[in-house]
Amino acid sequence: MEKGRLTQRDGFKTLVASLISIVIGLLAGAVVILIVGLINPSISLAGAIEGIKIVLFGVFSTGRNASGALSFGFNPVNMGNLFFRATPLILTGLSVAIANKTGLFNIGAPGQYLAGTCASLFLALSIPSSKMAPGLIWLIALLGGMIAGALWGSIPGMLKALLNMNEVIACIMTNWIAANLVTWIFDMSDLKNTAEGTKTGYIYKTSYNGVQTPKFGLDKIFRGSQINGGIIVAAILCVVMYIVIEKTTFGYELKACGANRHAAKYAGIHDKRDIILSMAIAGAMAGAAGSLYYLSGNTEFFWSTYQSLPSEGFTGIAVALLAVNNPVGTIFAGMFMSMLNISGMQLTYLTAYNEYITDVIIAVIVYLSAFSLIIRMLISGRKKIERSKVTGEPIVPAAAAAAPAPTADAAPAAQPAAGSPAKDKED
């Protein structure tokens, strides 16, 4: 009985729909790899099979053995880099998911990501570590990046709430303003890496003054990788946001405003305030993504960002779609996207393929995730048909099933005729 109840829950159906999207995407990628391998004489069928293995298990690839065959096992470098690369994807996905929960489409995560990056790097590199503990500077820099992202995210939120401007247009505008503004700020700053003359246009790593994300011993488990404690911070933020959205009155108000802004306002909910706060929270998460990535101490920021917006902000849209806007689900969706990126690099290093095939797989998965509602409907319809075959019950629409059946007692009373005593008494 409990099993039946579990399979009928919306969360279970959503999970199944996402898994189906992933499986179909991987199968489509395998077909592409196979076709390319068969067409290209330098790859052949054997090389195509190797390519499929790497796409599926690339994170466990340990290279090639003495005989030249692919070998698989625990690879601490790949696993550690997976968690490191997943951290910004998880948080930008969380940013998009929070906005989607309140009926807003936050395409402004790249700009919020840049705002958080700019603020956190300025704080981390400007505060002298000789006068303040590096751990405290790191915390200030992270919080400063989140505040900067929140302020930048609140701009399209205010335009939406106060002027009813479409948030997509406002977010695109703020993205490019942020890109050029950050470029100008860093160009005028003294934070450019002048110690290494060949790296013109790069900002110092935060390890330059000893301010970097603590590793919490993870570097001993995943030796040789870029992992740090950022993945733990990201997971904690996802859990906190899940509790806020799903278990608090404030979260209920945000979701109610997203479901129907005018009905929420009629019920006494401050819709304008909630729209602004929703975008501010989303911006804070995107700002945290940029802060944690560049506070790691092993990555350099290229300040000429006007050339392109950070891809992590747009990949966050795919993560949120795959997680079906579930804050905890973004943890696993972000790690899956990171796994595909690691597999793409392994595909380039170990075979004649290039990493762009993994982009095809991601594109298919994202495309199918957008149709997750249709997949859920198909799953629900099939379950109803199977249950009807077992129990013999007719398939009744939900609305009709919920309506009470008419009874003799519920039959409408006859209307008194004109001029009857009852009518005269009413008059």
Which of 218-227, 372-381, 405-414 comes out lowest in average pLDDT?
A: 405-414
User: What letter does residue 68 receive in the DSSP assignment?
Assistant: S
CATH number of 77-334, picked from 1.20.1300, 3.40.50, 1.10.3470, 1.10.443: 1.10.3470
More confidently predicted of 290 and 318:
290
For 267-294, how does the pLDDT look when each residue is reduced to its tens digit (9 = 90+)?
888 989 999 999 999 999 999 999 999 9
Residue pair 425/419 in contact by the 8 Å Cβ criterion: no
Q: Give Cα 106 to chain centroid, integer Å.
A: 11
**Three-state DSSP class for 199?**
coil
Q: Is residue 63 over pLDDT 80?
A: yes
pTM, two decimals, is 0.84
Sketch the domain layout of the chain as residue ranges: 1-74+352-392, 77-334
388-393: average pLDDT: 52
With cut-offs at 50, 70 and 90, classify the pLDDT of residue 9. low
For 364, residues 6+ apart whose C-beta sits below 8 A from its C-beta are 24, 25, 28, 29
Q: What percent of the chain has pLDDT over 70?
A: 82
Closest CA to 56 of 19, 91, 22, 85: 22
Token digits for 65?
């053995």
For 93-145, how does the pLDDT look when each residue is reduced to its tens digit (9 = 90+)?
999 999 998 889 999 999 999 999 999 999 999 998 888 999 999 999 999 99
Token digits for 90?
């998880």
Bridge partners of residue 302, in order along the sequence: 202
What is the model's pLDDT at position 37?
86
d(CA 183, CA 189): 10
Q: Is residue 424 over pLDDT 60?
A: no
